[in-house]
A = this chain, B = another copy of it.
Amino acid sequence: MSSIEKRQTADLPRYAKIRQMRRGNYDRSLAYEILDAGMVAHVGFIHENRPMVIPMAYARIDDQLFIHGASSTRIVKANGGGVPACLEVTMIDGFVVARSGFHHSVNYRCAIAHGTARVVEDPDLQTRALAAITDHLLPGRWDECRQMTATELKATGVLVFDIEHISTKVRTGGPVDDKEDLGTDVWAGVVPVVTALGQPLAAPDVPEKTPVPASVPAARRKFA
């Protein structure tokens, strides 16, 4: 994938729906846009001298990221004031089909944040973070639910991740083939990757006429 950094993206008028965007590397607004659009973060820690990567629910509030999950909380708790961490969010937008194997690529948007993860001890911030994590996938869901109990709050490990450095990588557009390969009859182009939310399925114990809450269509719009 990284070979794309070396090349310019070709100008491809046939790809009306694909933005020709090659921004980066340290554009914070683009990084935040990618972070806000992702479904899952891939969080890296060092544990017993080994790298670990865990998929985690997450949310951004201003310049901080919040993540939540038992195993990472354990690692961070065991390390006092916080641990170095890396949080990566990637969306795959298309497979780039080139004439040569060498020039195959992937269209994607990726944000990689480096920072320090600490356990959130303040219950107010912890609640705000959990609301943000819930609303990240289902906008407005937190306010549709009953409030969190003290017991639930105690049982939920939340980490705050201070962004010390953030970078983006974005590839868009079609294949960039070698001139010598252009005359061949080998097809080239892009196969778009589409991610979307389907029709919501009610749980069996939800009474028949219970309306689907606003957070569900909001999520379907967000991840359309």
Chain A contacts to B: CB under 8 angstroms:
1-3, 5-6, 10, 12-15, 17-18, 39-40, 42-46, 49-57, 68-72, 84-88, 90, 92, 95, 97-102, 104, 106, 108, 110, 112, 114, 130-131, 134, 137-138, 141-142, 144-146, 148-149, 152, 155-156, 174-175, 177, 181-182, 184-207, 210-213, 215-216, 219-220, 223
Contact = CB atoms under 8 A, between A and B. Distances in A.
A216 B97 contact: yes
A88 B54 CA distance: 7
Contacts of A175: 203
B189 A202 contact: yes
Q: How many copies does the complex hold?
A: 2
Given A1-B69, A138-B191, 5 more contacts: A42-B88, A97-B213, A100-B152, A189-B206, A194-B195
Contacts of A185: 207, 210
A184 B52 contact: no
B43 A53 contact: yes
For the complex of A and B, the 7 pairs showing the least CB-CB separation, nearest first, are A42-B42, A44-B51, A192-B198, A44-B53, A53-B88, A55-B90, A2-B69
Given A182-B205, A187-B210, A216-B191, A86 B51 contact: yes
A92 B175 CA distance: 28
Contacts of A51: 44-46, 51-52, 84-86
B205 A201 contact: no
